[in-house]
Amino acid sequence: MSKMIHLCLAKMSETGMEQKYIQEAFDTQWVAPLGPNVNAFEKDLEQFVCEGKRVVALSNGTAAVHLALIACGVGPGDEVIVQSFTFCASSHPVTYLGATPVFVDSEPETWNIDPDLLEEAIKDRIAKTGKKPKAIVPVALYGMPYDLDRIMDIANRYEIPVIEDAAEGFGSRYKGQVLGTAGRYGVLSFNGNKMITTSGGGALICKDKTDWDKIMWLATQARESYPYYQHETIGYNYRMSNICAGIGRGQMTVLNAHIAHHHHVQALYEQLLADVPGITVHTQPDTLCHFEQASCHFEQPTCHVERSRDISEISPCASLSRDDKGNMVSRNDMGNSRDDKPIYDSNYWLTTITLDPSLKVKGQENAYKQIITSAVGGAAGVIHTASTAVTDCQPNDNVEAMRLALLAAGIESRPLWKPMHKQPVYRHSPAYVNGVSEGLFKVGMCLPTGPCVTDEQVAYIVNAIKDNIL
Ligand SMILES: *Cc1c(COP(=O)(O)O)cnc(C)c1O
């Protein structure tokens, strides 16, 4: 890999557990899309998310969204409500099924689906089409929890299943509950840039054995119970490979350390950017409340636990830890009553900042003068040449100038997700908007936060940002 400081590069455990589990797969000839690593990885995930949930490991997070939609009965002509401010993997599977995503804008606190607008959309869709949307897909953007209580309340009142897209929010919690465990289904992703990786992979959290059986069956070509191949339903080849699951098992040994590290980097950015005028670091809402942590016994599957350095010195709210009974507890100690904990407990997958439109950045007069020749994220070297240097909805000139300046300094940064309701491919989809996601898209950017990012690099990045402000 290059010298570039990336947003979130995968980092393997220092104990080499990933390779040990892969070696085991080779030694036992389990080189297949099933096997002992897949089963054990699922058990690890079930222990981590607790709440008595069952998990199916899949080839990627997009497949998890796809199967959850199928299991919710989504088909041609149906509508599914999707948070507009997201990566395309939340909504594309809706279109795979011949259904239509109905996009709902965000609220400014969490940047996630606005509950008021959600209810308005449900009512309006029922009035306009005579049918209820088949599912609701809230998304934990950049790891930030959505307003789970209100979303579940609305969904329950209208009896619409919720598919939690926690692909970016693995390990984030709402009132102590791991995201993905409150809705009918919860989506996780283990792509190379997520909280933990299996190189590529995903999982679907299911509420019970019945749902789990159905997802497992759909993920393995929906084979009927006969000695020969009998097919009565269309299925998919979406199960995770035993090799990838070996990586996943190793990564579970550093999941808590990764989450702690992301918190640490976020706290460092907050501290170092605190007095830079015109730049705001996005933080979780600081609302606290008293809640009982679910008694959850995640046996971290190794004796060696990596620890992020100096967390306590920098952040008053550092990491997931264990209480004297060995239970996992959320971050707390924010100076309030001992029992009060943050309602929104983000894993801070990526640190995001916003740039005031009046902030002057070096070179902003030249932003967007050139057609970019590679897709964002450099998807496997795919080049699908853009026809114009600009679109009718893009980040402000100062944001693009900052991105280019950081790139020249060897720092990868990215605009926020462009809202789906502003994507040309979704121009015919209904959208319920309030301007929040579009406004954020124009002023926001993501900074390197991953497990490989060091304190020195954060200081270097912050200095590069300051150096480019006029
Ligand atoms: C990454 C991601 C997914 C799933 O992605 P895969 O790359 O297919 O694992 C789904 N939703 C969101 C919001 C994501 O960021």
Which pLDDT score is estimated for 238?
98
Rg for the chain, CA atoms, rounded: 22
Percent of the chain with pLDDT over 70: 89
With the most atoms of ligand 1 within 8 angstroms of its CB, the residue from 189, 236, 352, 449 to mutate is 189
| Ligand 1 centroid, distance to 469 Cα (angstroms) | 33
- Nearest protein Cα to ligand 1, atom 13: 87
Average pLDDT score over residue span 90-107: 98
| Ligand 1 centroid, distance to 448 Cα (angstroms) | 18
Q: Is the pLDDT of residue 318 over 90?
A: no
With the most atoms of ligand 1 within 8 angstroms of its CB, the residue from 62, 84, 139, 437 to mutate is 62
Instruction: Place 370 in a pLDDT band, splitting at 50, 70 and 90.
Output: confident
- Structural domains in the chain, CATH included, are 17-252 (3.40.640.10), 352-467 (3.90.1150.10)
Average pLDDT score over residue span 393-408: 97
Q: Is the pLDDT of residue 442 over 60?
A: yes
Which pLDDT score is estimated for 311?
35
Of 30-39, 382-391, 399-408, the range with the lowest mean pLDDT is 382-391
Contact yes or no for 329/320 (Cβ under 8 A): yes
| Ligand 1 centroid, distance to 189 Cα (angstroms) | 6
| Ligand 1 centroid, distance to 303 Cα (angstroms) | 31
Contact yes or no for 434/388 (Cβ under 8 A): no
Instruction: Place 388 in a pLDDT band, splitting at 50, 70 and 90.
Output: confident
Q: Label each residue of 209-236 as H, E or C.
A: HHHHHHHHHHHECCECCCCCCCECCCCC
Q: Which residues of 13-22 are buried (b: 16+ CB within 10 A; e: fewer)?
A: bebebbeebb
Strand partners, 202: 58, 189
Instruction: Place 375 in a pLDDT band, splitting at 50, 70 and 90.
Output: confident
Q: Which residues line ligand 1 (CB under 6 A)?
A: 60-62, 86-87, 89-90, 139, 165, 167-168, 189, 191, 202
**C-alpha–C-alpha distance, residues 459 and 271, integer Å:** 10
Which pLDDT score is estimated for 326?
40
pLDDT in tens, 334-349: 445 667 889 999 999 9
| Ligand 1 centroid, distance to 62 Cα (angstroms) | 6
**What is the position in ligand 1's atom list of the atom closest to the CA of 190?**
9
- Nearest protein Cα to ligand 1, atom 10: 89
| Ligand 1 centroid, distance to 206 Cα (angstroms) | 18
pLDDT in tens, 407-423: 999 999 999 999 999 99
Name the residue type at position 217.
W
Q: Is the pLDDT of residue 331 over 50?
A: no
**C-alpha–C-alpha distance, residues 43 and 249, integer Å:** 10
Give the predicted TM-score (pTM) of the model: 0.91
- Nearest protein Cα to ligand 1, atom 4: 61
CB atoms within 10 A of CB 222: 15
Q: Is the pLDDT of residue 330 over 50?
A: no
With the most atoms of ligand 1 within 8 angstroms of its CB, the residue from 165, 179, 195, 240 to mutate is 165
- DSSP 8-class letter at 368: T
Which pLDDT score is estimated for 315?
34
**What is the position in ligand 1's atom list of the atom closest to the CA of 65?**
10
Which pLDDT score is estimated for 51?
86
**What is the position in ligand 1's atom list of the atom closest to the CA of 90?**
11
Which pLDDT score is estimated for 425?
98
| Ligand 1 centroid, distance to 190 Cα (angstroms) | 8
Q: And the tokens for 314?
A: 């920098």
- Nearest protein Cα to ligand 1, atom 5: 61
Instruction: Place 304 in a pLDDT band, splitting at 50, 70 and 90.
Output: very low
- Nearest protein Cα to ligand 1, atom 9: 61
With the most atoms of ligand 1 within 8 angstroms of its CB, the residue from 7, 194, 196, 238 to mutate is 194
Average pLDDT score over residue span 62-75: 98
Instruction: Place 313 in a pLDDT band, splitting at 50, 70 and 90.
Output: very low
What backbone torsions phi and psi does residue 44 show, to the nearest 5 degrees? -60, -45
Strands 163-165 and 173-174: unpaired
Which pLDDT score is estimated for 294?
65
pLDDT in tens, 171-183: 999 999 999 999 9
| Ligand 1 centroid, distance to 263 Cα (angstroms) | 21
Of the candidates 151, 192, 173, 157, the one whose C-alpha atom is nearest the C-alpha of residue 330 is: 173
| Ligand 1 centroid, distance to 82 Cα (angstroms) | 14
**What is the position in ligand 1's atom list of the atom closest to the CA of 60?**
9
**What is the position in ligand 1's atom list of the atom closest to the CA of 189?**
9
Strand partners, 373: none
Of the candidates 164, 195, 203, the one whose C-alpha atom is nearest the C-alpha of residue 61 is: 203
Which pLDDT score is estimated for 233?
96
| Ligand 1 centroid, distance to 90 Cα (angstroms) | 7
Name the residue type at position 164.
E
Contact yes or no for 160/79 (Cβ under 8 A): no
Q: Is the dihedral of CA 14, 257, 259, 216 positive or negative?
A: positive
**What is the position in ligand 1's atom list of the atom closest to the CA of 191?**
9
Average pLDDT score over residue span 204-229: 97
The 3-state DSSP composition of the chain as helix, strand, coil percent (nearest 5) reads 35, 15, 50
Q: Is the pLDDT of residue 301 over 70?
A: no
Instruction: Place 333 in a pLDDT band, splitting at 50, 70 and 90.
Output: very low
Q: Is the pLDDT of residue 306 over 60?
A: no
pLDDT in tens, 105-120: 999 999 999 999 999 9
